[in-house]
Amino acid sequence: MDAVGGNPDSSSGNALPRRYAIMPRPRAVGSKWPEAPSVDAPGSAVRSIYDTGERPPVMDLELLEALNEEYRTKPLVPEPLKYDQASREERARRRLLEVHGSIDLADKRVLELGCGAGFEVWYLSHHFGADAWGVDVSERRAWAPLADDRTHFVCADLATDRSFETGFFDRVYSFTVMEHVVHPWAVLNELFRIMKPGGLAYLQANLHRGPRASHIYRELYFPFPHLLFTDDVIREYRRTHSGRDEGASWVNRLTWSQYEDYLRQIGFVLKSLQFRETPLDEAFYDRFANILGRYPKRDLTRDFFTAVVAKPKR
């Protein structure tokens, strides 16, 4: 028999009804416990059906260097992104056409979250006719010459700073920034606040369990270094080989399911979703199944998600 009731934690009176099953009353048992048989060393195993196999390899600097040498001629990312101005400009144009095809940027007030050097923001105003804004936690050298009356740059952390009015933007977009955000809930919540009702956001981010999420594929050529090795081991390698006293570059470890849950709880409506996937190297997976086997294979193939979300109208 079922009973229907409201959410007992809600004080709004508008919560959807929740269905509760009425459970049978438990049968009474005696208050005196029986005495168990006496057993010597009760926790000792006499048989096991779990075969642990060979001892897992020691995930140390020596193994990291050996793997890197093995993959040097077949790197995970054969042609990493370039960061000269011409490459940045070409990438900005390509990205904006992609975003525009999804959420229409023309003549809108648009925010880029994590705008970097700012060429996308400049093209937004000068090619799409947008009132274009870029926000980043680091001010870049290019901002001053790119800024004008329709091209604006703000150095701020949306997790802590309220730099914009409520309902200020028609559109928001972000490219491979959310994985670097220390407080993703706070940033997504702030984006929701500063978007207009009916506004759209285009979010693309690298997923932590993907093979290239370490962001250091220019130095480490094999997949999943950030899942296989601790930051201390990676830092030791980089200190020796590139002079960088840094581990892997990701910050948050969210799966897509966790992002989706955040977006839903904040109030966004998911309009579209795509994943950019890298086929799993099964032989590599088998070599390190003791570590990689902790994760669903589906997560290990998902490098990036691209989601379009909406802030509902009133």
Confidence (pLDDT) at 78: 93
Confidence band of 280 (pLDDT split at 50, 70, 90): very high
Q: What is the mean pLDDT of residues 70-82?
A: 94
| pLDDT tens digits, 186-232 | 999 999 999 999 999 999 999 999 999 999 999 999 999 999 999 99
Segment 235-251 mean pLDDT: 90
Q: 58-78 burial string, b = 16+ CB within 10 Å, else e? A: ebeeeebeebbeebeeebbee
Closest CA to 288 of 216, 228, 208: 228
Which residue in the block uniquely carries the two structure tokens 């029986």? 34
**Is 156 a residue whose pLDDT tops 70?**
yes
Give the domain ranges of the chain.
62-310
Q: Count the neighbouring beta carbons within 10 Å of the beta carbon of residue 308.
A: 20
| Length of the chain counted residue by residue | 314
Read off the pLDDT of each residue in 66-86 and give the average, rounded to a whole number: 94
The contacts of residue 253 (CB under 8 Å, 6+ apart) are 208
> What is the pTM assigned to this prediction?
0.84
Give per-residue pLDDT as tens, 87-130.
999 999 999 999 999 999 999 999 999 999 999 999 999 999 99
The whole-number pLDDT of residue 21 equals 73
Element (H, E) at 3: strand 2-5
pLDDT for the residue numbered 251:
80
For residue 235, give the nearest of 251, 227, 246 by alpha carbon.
246
Query: Residue 233 above 50 pLDDT?
Result: yes
Parallel, antiparallel, or unpaired: how do β-strands 169-175 and 109-113 relate?
Answer: parallel
Please answer whether residues 127 and 92 qualify as being in contact, where contact means their C-beta atoms are separated by less than 8 angstroms. Answer: no
Superfamily for the 62-310 domain: Vaccinia Virus protein VP39 (3.40.50.150)
